[in-house]
């Protein structure tokens, strides 16, 4: 009887998780979900053009390394989705593009697959992206709701991933009707996962940013990389506002449209306080000049989230813009390289150390 109840309960939970994933995709495609009253800060800095770059465009190298793998660019697809048929298709398209263009790729939260193994295939992109780093994803808060090393291992194994990222999304959970809001004592639990998992463990936000002090605490317990996911791009209080049927929470979510630390501030703060941190700069990036600026501020890699979604999803009319998605990947890398040409930086390392980024 108890076993049957557990089974039914788990099925109901996984159906709810899948429904939520579908709603997130639709809302992110159709509604105004960009933060309001706060910007990424990347448009407040400029590169000082160098008329005499003293290098050949074709000699510029974007080559990078992440999670022990060499990649052709310092770019990555931020964790987005999985858990429904549509999400599985999106993951497949993003994975094929990542493989072809040398980007790393993050998966969306894999809780749906942990709850219901039948959904695992929607996260299984290794055959489409055999050579690039794949990052499995779970909510760090789940460590307070029954998840532990077994679930983390399972997520990594299911995705044949090179690393695991645990996301911090307190301000999303608080506006969700079904939110998990007990964020107490997580640092020690994150430490246990870092110690026991065979692959590197990173931490990411989802659009409100990670400051230098928090990054230092996380690194001191063994976190291998920090994805800032700063404010100025997708705002998850805005997204949850559209899902909420609770008027009080909907209105409250609106009040938080400008919450968070801008992407530029996060990167600069972490780089200043934790010089050896492996930083992924993300949150609201739209093009390759943003990528270049994030790297010049101190990021090692940069991530693009919602900006990639429209061309990876099936449109209302059933159209697929697969070629347009590849063009977008190509354009972002080209813009990054062109920005490097414009300041005479021949490698990602040189870009990181440029003195030509000005306020």
Ligand X SMILES: Cc1cc2nc3c(=O)[nH]c(=O)nc-3n(C[C@H](O)[C@H](O)[C@H](O)COP(=O)(O)O)c2cc1C
Question: Which string of x and - marks every residue 30-69 that binds ligand X (by CB under 6 A)?
Answer: ----------------------------------------
Q: Choose between 60 and 214: whose C-beta lies nearer to ligand X.
A: 214
CB proximity list for 358: less than 8 A, separation 6 or greater? 45, 46, 47, 48
Total residues contacting ligand X by CB under 6 A comes to 26
- Residue 49 exposed, middle or buried by CB count within 10 Å (0-12, 13-18, 19+): exposed
Angle 76-77-78 from CA coordinates, rounded to 5°: 105
What is the closest distance, in whole angstroms, from the C-beta atom of residue 314 to ligand X in the complex? 14
d(CA 271, CA 279): 8
Q: Count CA atoms within 13 Å of residue 25 on its CB side.
A: 28
Whether residue 340 is annotated as binding a ligand: the answer is no
- Residue 6 exposed, middle or buried by CB count within 10 Å (0-12, 13-18, 19+): exposed
Pick from 14, 64, 73, 79: which binds ligand X (CB under 6 A)? 79
d(CA 199, CA 219): 15
Copy the structure tokens of residue 309: 């979604």
Task: Return the range that interacts with ligand X (CB under 6 A); candidates 7-15, 43-51, 73-81, 193-201.
Answer: 73-81
Pick from 25, 71, 266, 339: which binds ligand X (CB under 6 A)? 25
d(CA 99, CA 103): 6
Task: Return the range that interacts with ligand X (CB under 6 A); candidates 210-218, 283-291, 292-300, 311-319.
Answer: 283-291
262 binds ligand X (CB under 6 A): no
Pick from 229, 277, 340, 351: which binds ligand X (CB under 6 A)? 229
Pick from 225, 304, 329, 341: which binds ligand X (CB under 6 A)? 304
Whether residue 78 is annotated as binding a ligand: the answer is yes
Pick from 202, 233, 281, 298: which binds ligand X (CB under 6 A)? 233
176 binds ligand X (CB under 6 A): no
CA of residue 191 relative to chain centroid, distance = 21
CA distances from 28 to 137, 241, 243 (A): 19, 12, 11
Contact 163, 200 (CB under 8 A): yes
Taking the alpha carbons of 166, 169, 172, 173 in that order, is the dihedral positive or negative?
Answer: positive
Whether residue 354 is annotated as binding a ligand: the answer is no
94 binds ligand X (CB under 6 A): no
Contact 172, 237 (CB under 8 A): yes
What is the closest distance, in whole angstroms, from the C-beta atom of residue 303 to ligand X in the complex? 7
Cα end-to-end distance, the chain, whole Å: 65
Whether residue 110 is annotated as binding a ligand: the answer is yes
Whether residue 172 is annotated as binding a ligand: the answer is yes
159 binds ligand X (CB under 6 A): no
Pick from 38, 80, 143, 280: which binds ligand X (CB under 6 A)? 80
202 binds ligand X (CB under 6 A): no
238 binds ligand X (CB under 6 A): no
Pick from 14, 64, 137, 237: which binds ligand X (CB under 6 A)? 137
The contact set with ligand X (CB under 6 A) reads: 24-25, 28, 78-81, 108-109, 137, 167, 204, 206-207, 229, 233-234, 282-285, 304-307, 309
């Amino acid at each position: 009887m108890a076993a049957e109840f557990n089974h039914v309960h788990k099925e109901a939970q996984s159906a709810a998780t899948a429904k939520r994933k579908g709603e997130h995709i639709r809302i992110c495609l159709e509604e105004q979900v960009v933060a309001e009253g706060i910007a990424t800060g990347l448009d407040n800095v400029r590169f000082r053009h160098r008329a005499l770059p003293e290098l050949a465009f074709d000699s510029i190298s974007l080559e990078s390394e992440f999670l022990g793998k060499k990649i052709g660019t310092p770019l990555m697809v931020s964790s987005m989705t999985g858990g429904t048929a549509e999400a599985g298709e999106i993951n497949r398209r993003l994975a094929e593009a990542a493989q072809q263009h040398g980007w790393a790729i993050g998966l969306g939260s894999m809780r749906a697959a942990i709850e219901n193994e039948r959904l695992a295939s929607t996260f299984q992109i290794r055959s489409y992206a055999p050579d690039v780093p794949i990052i499995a994803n779970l909510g760090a808060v789940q460590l307070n709701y029954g998840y532990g090393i077994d679930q983390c291992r399972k997520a990594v194994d299911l995705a044949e991933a090179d690393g695991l990222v645990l996301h911090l999304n307190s301000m999303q959970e608080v506006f969700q009707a079904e939110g998990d809001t007990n964020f107490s004592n997580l640092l020690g639990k994150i430490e246990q996962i870092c110690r026991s998992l065979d692959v590197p463990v990173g931490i990411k936000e989802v659009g409100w940013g990670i400051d230098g002090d928090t990054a230092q605490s996380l690194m001191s317990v063994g976190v291998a990389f920090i994805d800032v996911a700063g404010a100025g791009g997708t705002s998850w209080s805005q997204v949850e506002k559209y899902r909420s049927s609770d008027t009080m929470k909907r209105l409250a979510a609106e009040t938080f449209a400008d919450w968070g630390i801008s992407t530029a501030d996060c990167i600069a703060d972490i780089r200043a306080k934790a010089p050896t941190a492996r930083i992924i700069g993300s949150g609201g990036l739209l093009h390759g000049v943003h990528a270049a600026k994030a790297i010049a501020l101190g990021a090692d890699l940069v991530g693009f989230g919602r900006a990639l979604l429209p061309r990876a999803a099936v449109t209302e009319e059933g159209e697929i813009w697969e070629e347009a998605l590849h063009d977008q990947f190509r354009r972002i890398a080209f813009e990054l390289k062109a920005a490097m040409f414009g300041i005479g930086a021949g490698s990602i390392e040189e870009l990181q150390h440029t003195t030509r980024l000005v306020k």
